Amino acid sequence: MSLLVTGSIGLDTVETPSGQVADVLGGSAVYFSLAAALYSPVRMVGVVGEDFDLTRLAPLRARGVDTRGVEVRRGSRTFRWHGRYVGTLNEAQTVDVQLNVLAERGAAIPAEFADSRLVFLANTHPALQREMAQRVPAAELVVCDTMNLWIEREPAELRQTLATVHGLFLNEGEARLLTGKSNLVSAGRTILGLGPRFVVIKKGEHGSLLVAESTIVLVPPYPTEQVVDPTGCGDSFAGATLGYLAACGRWDLETLRAALVRGAVVASFVVESFSIDGLLRVGREDVERRLAALREMARLD
């Protein structure tokens, strides 16, 4: 089943206690696409500047990611982010960010992508998210991500977007900020009242919480001792989740539960390396091995 993602493609510089890398491939669309491609073909839409070397996308194409939706914009420069992780590595400190091409108009969605049935709108301005969704009229499941910037600065636009999507991914701090609720279950139920059918609240190393009208599901994390770089874990989590849904061709709550657990496992590989290195090394069989181990660790009977 056709899956489209629209989001950032960038060059990252990342500092962690394990070391530092400079100008490595990053961006929400990149992490999402590689994770989703473990289960389903992916159509990637994004924009880069003329300083971007398109051969960097070769590993994505080799994994079945259709990059025809990547626009190289002449006269513009690629999005760049410099982040630093310290302490528990739960949250990045932004050292520098250069929006560059991301501060301009959004990428065009190729006509041949308009029949996509699943769409993930990675974090960007909520008005742009709505605009992108409107360009995919055949979409049956539209899921978005957001961040504290839009919650604080564009609350009206964000609420309009949430009224049009089927699902939302956000972290626990963002859920509390959006709703004013300290309890995450209450926060999730409040978000459902804004429009989405389900909300996934990410809790970092503590897993995630799925809240739907009739269901609350605790999704455990896969515990890994080798924590190198958390960058892209959230987007990879969402990517594997929607990739699995696309492969199954359905998104009922039981299938969504199964998808989220796989998303958690895939994210555990991302954190073990810098940039996309962990995703490039992992295969479906690796995910299944960790999934079996996680089932045993989480068994309550």
Strand partners, 119: 4, 142
Sheet containing strand 118-121, strands side by side: 65-73, 42-49, 3-6, 118-121, 141-145, 167-171, 198-202, 208-212, 215-219
Mean pLDDT of 208-214: 94
Binned at pLDDT 50, 70 and 90, residue 279 comes out as very high
- pLDDT, residue 300, reads 67
Mean model confidence pLDDT for the chain: 94
The residue that leads in pLDDT, 206 or 35, is 35
* Contact indicator for 122, 145 with CB cutoff of 8 Å: yes
- pLDDT, residue 102, reads 87
Distances (CA, A) of 248 to 114, 258, 259, 271: 21, 10, 9, 26
Cα gap 70→30, rounded to integer Å? 11
Specify the range with the lowest mean pLDDT, choosing from 83-97, 103-117, 226-240: 83-97
- pLDDT, residue 123, reads 87
- Burial per residue of 10-35, b for 16 or more beta-carbon CB atoms within 10 angstroms, e otherwise: bbbbbbbebeebeebbbbbbbbbbbb
Binned at pLDDT 50, 70 and 90, residue 205 comes out as confident
- pLDDT, residue 94, reads 87
pLDDT at 140 over 70: yes
Binned at pLDDT 50, 70 and 90, residue 299 comes out as confident
What's the predicted TM-score (pTM) here? 0.95
pLDDT at 148 over 70: yes
What is the domain class of 3-298 according to CATH?
Answer: alpha beta
Mean pLDDT of 120-134: 92
Closest CA to 281 of 291, 293, 272, 294: 272
